[in-house]
Every structure is written in C-alpha cells, then in structure tokens.
Amino acid sequence: MTQITLYGPAISTYVRTVRMILTETNTSYDLQPVDIFSDRSQEYLAKHPFGKVPALEVDGEILYETRAIVEYLDAVVGNHAFTPDEPMGQARMRQIMSIVDNYLYSPSISVITIQRLIVPSQGGQPDEAAIQAAVPKIQTALGAIEAIATCNPYLLGNMITLADLYLMPVMLYLSKTPEIDKVTGETPKLKSWWESINQRPSFLQVIG
Ligand SMILES: N[C@@H](CCC(=O)N[C@@H](CS)C(=O)NCC(=O)O)C(=O)O
C-alpha cells in the first residue's frame, strides 16, 4: 500500500492546493506540520533544500514544487481527471498556475495577507504603502486570468482543473481583506466563479 506524507502547515495556500486533490480523490495521507514562521530544521531542509512548503513523500521518495506534486497526483490518483484532454486546455491550465506562482502569490499572500491578517494579529500596524503598491499587481494578475478563463462554471469550462485548485486558496485569503472588492472589480467572471466554487465540499474540508 502506498504511504503518502504531506509536509506543511494547514494554513499554506500551496499545501491547501495539494490537500484538495488528495481530498477530491479520496486519497489517504498523513499531514506533517512544518512551522514556516521559524527557521526550517535540517531534517526538513533535507527534504526541501529551499525550505518552502509543501513537500510530498511517496513511499520514501520526496517530491517538492506544488505544480510537480499536483500533476503527479493527478496522474497516479486522479486518473488525469483534473487536466484537460486537449493541448490548448492543458497549456491554459499551466499558464494560470504560472500566473498564480509568478505574479499573483507574492502581492496577494506575501504582502496583502501578511499586512492585513498577520501583522494586526501580532499587534502591529499594516504597511498601507506596501498594500497600495500590491493592489495593481493583483489586478493585473487576476485580469490576465480573467482574459483566458471562461469561468463557466470552472476556470477552463465544464471540468474543474488544477488551475482552479491553485487559485482558490489565494482567493480565500484575499476575500478576508478589504482589498477584495478592489482587486476583483474588473474581473466579473472570476468574481462569480469564486462566489460559487468557494462552497465546494473538498475546499470547505481543507480550510476547516
Ligand atoms: N515554488 C514553491 C512555492 C511554495 C511556497 O512559496 N510556499 C510558501 C507557503 S504557501 C512557503 O513555503 N512560505 C515560507 C517561506 O517562504 O519561508 C511551490 O510551488 O511549492
């Protein structure tokens, strides 16, 4: 029997993306927490030399980088149900995942989420200038996704794909901040996609 261990904290967006495909496919796994607010242990760095989360261990073999992990899981436990069949659909899915990685994650999570949700919870004052600078970057990234997504009802049409699983956890944190209306003001399709997909049972389970 395959033994799967996922390393990372339950609050991480990327960990949530991986947990969603595991949940959607009824795959059993152990979740081993990693404290991302302190230095990583040598033991963890041996699994992930960059110290990021998540890392996935499958029968003793370690895999890191979320996209590699979810594409692997879609192949071995998802029967490719989360990847479009045709090449352009596959390319669009990977394009959206890359937009999330390279242009959306940092202003949304490293700036807005940290400044609006984490800093005040520790008694600090949000850096309003950093927040204001992050907003147009998020608008550009969400606008780029809006331009290629149908959102009918999923980002790429009638099947949920890895692209949806990538974007949902980031949208959740943005939706908890006052910036949500500003960043989705010009993306009506994404706004309605988010309003319907955020009740998906696997998502509610993973964020619960
Ligand atoms: N390229 C990595 C990015 C992962 C990532 O940025 N994870 C965040 C948590 S959502 C993290 O490890 N943050 C802690 C840190 O940067 O020290 C991937 O695709 O897995």
- Give the pLDDT confidence of 44-57 residue by residue, as tens digits: 999 999 999 999 99
Query: pLDDT tens-digit profile of 65-103?
Result: 999 999 999 999 999 999 999 999 999 999 999 999 999
Q: Model confidence at 163, in pLDDT bands (50, 70, 90)?
A: very high
Sign of CA dihedral 197, 200, 205, 208: positive
Q: Model confidence at 193, in pLDDT bands (50, 70, 90)?
A: very high
Domain membership flag for residue 82: no
The ligand 1 atom at the shortest distance from the C-alpha of residue 15 is 10
Ligand 1 binding pocket, CB closer than 6 Å: 12-14, 36, 51-53, 65-67
Provide the pLDDT for residue 1: 66
Please identify, among 76, 110, 136, the residue that sits at the C-terminal boundary of a domain. 76
Domain membership flag for residue 50: yes
Domain membership flag for residue 206: no
Which domain range does residue 116 map to?
A: 87-200
CA of 100 to the centre of ligand 1 (A): 12
Provide the pLDDT for residue 2: 86
Query: pLDDT tens-digit profile of 99-142?
Result: 999 999 999 999 999 999 999 999 999 999 999 999 999 999 99
- How many domains does the structure of the chain reveal? 2
